[in-house]
Amino acid sequence: MKRIIYSIGVFTLLVLGTSCKKWLDLEPRDGITNKEFWNTKEDVSAALAGCYASFLAPPPGVGDRSLLEYMFIYGEIRADMVSAGPFMTSEEIDIRNVNIVASNTFTRWASFYRTINYCNTILDFAPGAKTNDPTFTDATLNAYTAEALTLRSMMYFYLIRTFGDVPLKLTSTAKDTDLKEIGKTKQADVLKQIIADLKKAEQGAVITYGSTKLDKGRVTKYTVNALLADVYLWMENYTDCLTECQKVIDSQRFVYVNANSAWYNNVFFRGTSTETIFELDQPIGNPFLTLLALGTRRYVASPFVSSEIFVPDNVDPDRIFDIRDDAFYNSSFTILKYGTENPSYVKWQAYRISDIMLMKAEALALTGNGIGALAIIDELRLKRLAVIATQMIVDPNDQEAVCDYVLAERAREFAFEGKRWFDVLRHAKRNNYSRLNILLDMVAKTVTPTLQQSAITKFRDPNSHYLPIFETELFSDSKLKQNPFYNK
């Protein structure tokens, strides 16, 4: 089945292959035209498979890192839970040291826009396929549209949290006449578009595909709710965040897996667990093998992880330990979370019920219900056998203290899952950067000692929290302007 899905995805990527003239230029290269392809619901289904496959590897002939690798790096490299491995590149070291320039190849966003364009192509051409195929129902079209809108929204959500203002392209680039220079759209306006798209997606998304594997590996209504909750939390709209979280909770479809030694295998390796809302399989190749696991690894777990995140039990460290600890890194700080085989069958967890619960806890804390927030944290810690040494005694009326507890628990729950930088930045920027100290304090754990003062000075400027636009993108679109911090 994995081979079939990947074959369909590769076929679709070839149909939608890029000619690389410009950063949003897509022109079919293998002789298959839109007129020949978009005729049936099966064509649309194959195109959707291509969207999911695009997370796992670039299309044939395109020299780039996988989208999952970028998602991991953007969510971890500037945060405090990873350190430089033996083969970390000079460009990655520059990012960690807050010494980033526009020629740094890790600032390329092409993989995100490729996936966006695949989604746009589905949104543009799927209605025509329905016209040609009498078996293509409105419900099926709406469900396919919901998947494309949600995946596109996820890409834009990563982009605005990484780059700030970004180009907003809502139509496909399939031929030369589609090429347009569009410049950047304000982050706030991109977020408005994401909200509108996800609300539309919620109306058409399915609750189930009739298969547990598909329910976890494809977008459902609950994936939409989870992403909406995440977006609202970023926007500091806590009331709507709570509403979306509650929709997932009230479905009663997601529960914590029992706390035992099989927890990691059940959730990450086997996948399709009762905890998972949306996950991505990796049947193609393991992009994390050389990144994290082999002797050529570029990232290792930070010493901060063992000193503050996964602390040994202070009563019986040999027998009592947090179940989230041992499976993720070893004594040499090698990160094992995504397996040591190729291909890897470890699932990339986009959203689990624990994400929903901790988003709810954060929103509750910031709306005056610290008691409810702490109850959520206590329940999760009980399920994970968290040790007493990491317990925080917190006044439920102290909003910031409760949020710090949520942030600390998110570090344990989502270790090395590409969420840490975004979590820290969200807390730091809240209330017009009232908690900037969270970022400044992190510098001592991440930046080379001789460069720490320079990094602190840079981080005092909120514009430095976003990456620069890669120089090639600026050359391709004269309307694009470099992000403010990098114009100095």
Residue 298, CA distances (Å) to 86, 89, 111, 418, 422 in order: 6, 7, 20, 15, 21
**pLDDT tens readout for residues 274-285:** 999 999 986 667
pLDDT at residue 179, as a whole number: 64
- Do 383 and 266 form a contact (C-beta atoms < 8 A)? no
| Kind and range of the H or E run holding 352 | strand 348-352
| Range list of H helices, 34-89 | 34-37, 41-53, 67-76
Sign of the torsion formed by the C-alpha atoms of 201, 207, 211 and 217: positive
d(CA 108, CA 103): 9
Q: Are 272 and 212 in contact (CB under 8 A)?
A: yes
Q: Which of 342, 288, 218, 241 is CA-nearest to residue 76?
A: 288
The span from the CA of 96 to the CA of 78, in Å, is 5
β-pairing, 299-301 with 348-352? unpaired
pLDDT 10s digit of each residue in the chain, 488 long?
A: 444 444 344 444 434 444 334 434 344 334 344 667 899 999 999 999 999 999 988 888 888 999 999 999 999 999 999 999 999 999 999 999 999 999 999 999 999 999 999 999 999 999 999 999 999 999 999 999 999 999 999 999 999 999 999 999 999 987 655 567 889 999 999 999 999 999 999 999 999 999 999 999 999 999 999 999 999 999 999 999 999 999 999 999 999 998 888 899 899 988 999 999 999 986 667 888 889 988 889 999 999 998 899 988 877 777 678 888 866 666 788 998 888 887 778 899 999 999 999 999 999 999 999 999 999 999 999 999 999 999 999 999 999 999 999 999 999 999 999 999 999 999 999 999 999 999 999 999 999 999 999 999 999 999 999 999 999 999 988 899 999 999 87
Over residues 410-430, the pLDDT tens digits come to 999 999 999 999 999 999 999
Q: In sequence order, which residues have a C-beta less than 8 Å from that of residue 3 and are 6 or more positions away? A: 283
Query: What are the structural domains of the chain?
Result: 218-415 (1.25.40.390)
